[in-house]
Amino acid sequence: MLGSAVIILIPSLLLRQTLLALCNFGFLASMVSGTAAWVALIVFLASGYLATRLLQEFPRRILLVTYLCALVLGFIVIKQYAFLKPMLPAAIVSQVVVVVGLSYMLFRQIHLAVDAFQGQIKSLPLWRYLNYQLNLFGLTAGPIQRYQDFSLGWDRLQPLRCDFQSVTKAYLRVFIGVIKIMILAPPCLEVYEAFARTFLDLETPWKAIAKFALLLYLYPAYIYFNFSGYCDMVIAGASLVGLKMPENFNLPFLARNMIDYWTRWHRTLGFWIRDYVFNPLYKAMVERWPGRALWLALICYFIALFLTGLWHGSTWNFVVFGLLNGLGVAAAKCWEIILTTAIGRQGFKKYMQSPAIRALAIVANFHFVCLTIAFFPADLERTWGILKHVGALMF
């Protein structure tokens, strides 16, 4: 905030960029601890920059595939996924390296490598690359911005200084973000934890169901307030210094199915997965087996969202989270195909326009979303215990 107030007063673009770069590196320094983390970060950035430049000069498929495999393998080793630990050498498992924002840097790096290979990145100065990857407004938890969009803002870096209404709006949004994170999110988590700890002691079905409903709603509420609050702060903060970050939320709990949901919740992740996982995978498979497009679409939806779930964390609960999301999007597409086949495209259009069906779909999807988020807390045993207890009391 102080940086944004100062940056407004600086007339030179180069000085504004320098100040923002200092803020980026200062923020990074405050978040990274330990020599191993610094070494991993420097290796990641240096290899990322060199690989991208190399792909610009020599756009060979073999180079791209080799680099992407090495990149993803390195990421998996550093993240130490619980289901891969038994397969990793003990020397690697004992080395825990935490690199701040690595998951988001990975997305940006894959995007850069693919776009460079396809001739979509014309210029990549090292200075801009570092500020893109280490941009403090997206370093720790996104939003995932494309390099081309970042470049547009970086080349101008025109702070909001003349437009009083826009400046007020930006500060108000930062304030709303603070309220979400500091006031609305914590009680949701506290009550959730209190209920979850004592849940197995409940003996009457009605009490258990009522508390289960609260558990089901409280964790999604906590994550929504926390994450959307953070996004409010970084998007508004970035706008004050002249950077336009992409929006990450669009009324996610009003989605009518899981495909719709992933265009509303953590949108930049949903769009990234669509562009760099679903589209190339589906395209490659359909070109190979053109007669099986519908089945391939369902498989690709599942794979894309299963991987999205896995990316969220390295523990077993995220495997379940990924499976549920994968099944959810595949089921949504499957339902659409069944309906279109049964009632035709016009009939499907009417179905989509019906307010009653829309309301019903929103309620059903909201509860499915809550069920997927029930697997967000790392204690998978406790989540299973709660679900089993409710099942046993009800049936």
Partner 1 sequence: MRDTIRREIEEVFRNVFGDQELVLQESMTAADVDGWDSLAHINLIIALEKRLGVRFATAEISRLKEDGQTVGSLLDLVEQKKRA
Q: 3-class SS at 203?
A: coil
- Residue 329 φ/ψ region, left for φ over 0, alpha for ψ in the -120 to 50 degree band, beta for the rest: alpha
Using the minimum distance from each CB to partner 1, give the nearer residue, 149 or 193: 149
C-alpha to C-alpha distance for 176 and 144, rounded to whole angstroms:
21
Using the minimum distance from each CB to partner 1, give the nearer residue, 90 or 251: 251
Using the minimum distance from each CB to partner 1, give the nearer residue, 89 or 345: 345
Using the minimum distance from each CB to partner 1, give the nearer residue, 114 or 157: 114
Contact 230, 181 (CB under 8 A): yes
In degrees, to the nearest 5, what angle opens at C-alpha 101 toward C-alphas 382 and 129? 160
Using the minimum distance from each CB to partner 1, give the nearer residue, 54 or 77: 54
Minimum distance of partner 1 from residue 277's CB (angstroms): 11
CA 145 to chain centroid, in Å, comes to 11
C-alpha to C-alpha distance for 282 and 279, rounded to whole angstroms:
5
Under 8 Å CB-to-CB from 131, ≥6 apart: which residues?
A: 17, 20, 21, 24, 154
DSSP track, 94-114:
T-----TTHHHHHHHHHHHHH
Minimum distance of partner 1 from residue 290's CB (angstroms): 9
Minimum distance of partner 1 from residue 118's CB (angstroms): 4
Minimum distance of partner 1 from residue 3's CB (angstroms): 31
Under 8 Å CB-to-CB from 249, ≥6 apart: which residues?
A: 224, 227, 228, 231, 264, 265, 266, 267
Using the minimum distance from each CB to partner 1, give the nearer residue, 52 or 317: 52
Minimum distance of partner 1 from residue 62's CB (angstroms): 18
Under 8 Å CB-to-CB from 181, ≥6 apart: which residues?
A: 225, 226, 229, 230, 233
Using the minimum distance from each CB to partner 1, give the nearer residue, 246 or 385: 246
Minimum distance of partner 1 from residue 297's CB (angstroms): 6
* Interacting residue ranges for partner 1, rule: CB under 8 A: 114-115, 118-120, 146, 148, 259, 271, 274-276, 278-280, 282-283, 286-287, 293, 297, 333, 340, 345-346, 349
Give the position of tokens 């939806």: 301
Minimum distance of partner 1 from residue 274's CB (angstroms): 6
